[in-house]
């Protein structure tokens, strides 16, 4: 890394925790994901949402260049000046266009101390809290990124034993600015929500510590079933269905974060990168999780039930949170017009669909109408490894 130029080069095997360890030594950061053992490559290629995104954008928004091997064996560089169509495609399009061997990112000032952590209420207060939260976040600055998480309180050392296993709803915060400013921004959440929190763990801490907060919730080896969707805003109907299904959580490992979007994510033009859905307000990441096969069918059915209840309100989906759900769902991640553009780019760089073990975008047939693609800088996209780790001992094959 070059702290003076504020750039860092990282190869494909780097994990998020390793990147943060190096960059935070200089008070710098790349906006990335929420689990330190996530692979940087897969996270980046699918977009990259995380705790800094409202301040600094997605991971792909800080990507300056990639080195990669394409389907014909060529070693190429892609950036704004060299192979710009390919560079457009890898910023959200995943692993459809080749094997990225190295990434170059822009670095941004951060911390190393940030105001971060969860503020926790009983899950019975979910609907009331979400209605307050919906209004509160309309006035918060871009420095603040939040996620509302429903789950049973884990037996973590920082949570009192009296709460272990209790159903809770938490607003997890990260303020990418001066701690004193963040305390004032969070004051209404702590004091004006209509019900007092049972635990407040949002405090000044090293950013690297906050980045590891969800690690214990996503270890390798568990059985995971993910469903995901974007919504524009938390309507009363969405809030009521969310609270209703949250109350049905059985497994101590099941949880679903609702990530707040907006800010810098939304300020990048929709056509500037392959990533779709920049205008969404929130991303639901519904995780039905067990330690093994026992109870897995139940948690999978629960995840499907919540996702189905949200279906009338869905506007898209974050590709890194997709499982094997079929081409229609992949298209939903980008929208029809951008998806056609991606298929055309796929035809140019991988006409035989060599890179297909992913959220696959099949190459366009030569005869397909290309009128939707911009006249220049045509590009492509798809997805790669999820932003949360996939189980190394998977359960039954996922069904949509």
CB of 115 closer than 8 Å to CB of 175: yes
Domain check: are 88 and 125 in the same one? Answer: no
One domain for residues 81 and 183? no
In this structure, what are the phi and psi dihedrals at residue 145, rounded to the nearest 5 degrees? Answer: -120, 135
Give yes or no: residues 150 and 84 share one domain: no
SS3 label, residue 344: helix
Backbone φ and ψ for 289, nearest 5 degrees, come out as: -135, 140
For residue 38, give both structure tokens: 């996530």
What is the number of domains present in the chain? 2
pLDDT tens column, 297-306: 999 999 999 9
Residue 347 lies in a domain: no
How confident is the model over 254-289, as pLDDT tens digits? 999 999 999 999 999 999 999 999 999 999 999 999
Do 95 and 121 have their domain in common? Answer: no
Q: Evaluate whether residue 273 is within a structural domain.
A: yes
Question: Is residue 366 very low, low, confident or very high in pLDDT (cuts 50, 70, 90)?
Answer: confident
Range of the domain at 53: 7-103
d(CA 94, CA 351) in angstroms, rounded, equals 16
Burial class, 192, CB count within 10 angstroms (exposed 0-12 / middle 13-18 / buried 19+): exposed
Q: Is 384 helix (H, G, I), strand (E, B) or coil?
A: coil
pTM score:
0.90
Last residue of a domain, one of 295, 321, 347: 321
Under the banding of pLDDT at 50, 70 and 90, the label for residue 368 is low
State the Cα–Cα distance between residues 214 and 382, nearest whole angstrom: 26
Residues 76 and 200 in one domain: no
Same domain, 122 and 53: no
CB 278, CB 266: distance < 8 Å:
yes
Point out the domain boundary residue: 71, 103, 135: 103
Shared-domain flag, residues 120 and 226: yes
Question: What are the pLDDT digits (tens) for 192-244?
Answer: 999 999 999 999 999 999 999 999 999 999 999 999 999 999 999 999 999 99
Tell me if 282 sits within 8 A of 231, measured CB to CB.
Answer: yes
Place of tokens 């999978």: 300
Q: Where are the beta strands (DSSP E) in the chain?
A: 7-11, 28-29, 63-69, 75-79, 99-106, 108-109, 113-122, 144-152, 167-175, 199-200, 203-206, 223-231, 255-260, 282-290
Q: Report the pLDDT value the prediction gives residue 149, as an integer from 0 to 100.
A: 99
Look at residue 87 and tell me if it is in a domain.
Answer: yes
């Amino acid at each position: 890394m070059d702290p003076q130029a504020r750039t860092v080069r990282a190869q494909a095997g780097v994990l998020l925790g390793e990147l943060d360890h190096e960059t935070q030594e200089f008070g710098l950061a790349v906006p990335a994901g929420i689990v330190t053992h996530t692979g940087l490559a897969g996270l980046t290629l699918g977009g990259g949402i995380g705790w800094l995104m409202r301040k600094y954008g997605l991971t792909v928004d800080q990507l300056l260049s990639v080195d990669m091997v394409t389907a014909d064996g060529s070693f190429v560089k892609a950036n704004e000046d060299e192979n710009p169509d390919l560079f457009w495609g890898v910023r959200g399009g995943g692993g459809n266009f080749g094997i990225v061997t190295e990434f170059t990112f822009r670095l941004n000032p951060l911390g190393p101390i940030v105001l971060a952590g969860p503020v926790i209420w009983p899950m019975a207060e979910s609907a009331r809290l979400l209605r307050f939260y919906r209004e509160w976040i309309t006035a918060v600055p871009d420095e603040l990124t939040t996620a509302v998480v429903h789950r049973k309180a884990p037996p973590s050392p920082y949570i009192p034993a009296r709460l272990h296993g209790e159903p809770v709803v938490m607003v997890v915060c990260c303020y990418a600015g001066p701690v004193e400013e963040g305390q004032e921004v969070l004051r209404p959440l702590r004091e004006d929500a209509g019900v007092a929190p049972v635990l407040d763990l949002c405090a000044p801490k090293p950013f690297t510590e906050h980045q590891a907060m969800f690690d214990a919730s996503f270890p390798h080896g568990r059985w995971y079933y993910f469903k995901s969707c974007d919504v524009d805003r938390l309507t009363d109907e969405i809030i009521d269905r969310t609270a209703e299904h949250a109350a049905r959580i059985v497994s101590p490992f099941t949880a679903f974060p609702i990530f707040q979007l907006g800010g810098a994510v939304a300020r990048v033009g929709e056509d500037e990168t392959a990533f779709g859905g920049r205008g969404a307000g929130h991303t639901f990441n519904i995780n039905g999780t067990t330690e093994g096969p026992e109870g897995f069918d139940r948690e999978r059915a629960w995840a499907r039930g919540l996702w189905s209840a949200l279906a009338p309100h869905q506007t898209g989906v974050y590709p890194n949170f997709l499982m094997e759900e079929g081409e229609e769902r992949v298209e939903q991640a980008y929208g029809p017009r951008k998806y056609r553009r991606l298929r055309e780019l796929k035809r140019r760089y991988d006409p035989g669909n060599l890179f297909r073990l992913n959220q696959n975008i099949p190459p366009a047939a030569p005869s397909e109408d290309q009128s939707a693609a911009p006249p220049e800088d045509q590009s492509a996209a798809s997805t790669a490894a999820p932003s949360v780790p996939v189980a190394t001992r998977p359960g039954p094959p996922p069904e949509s």
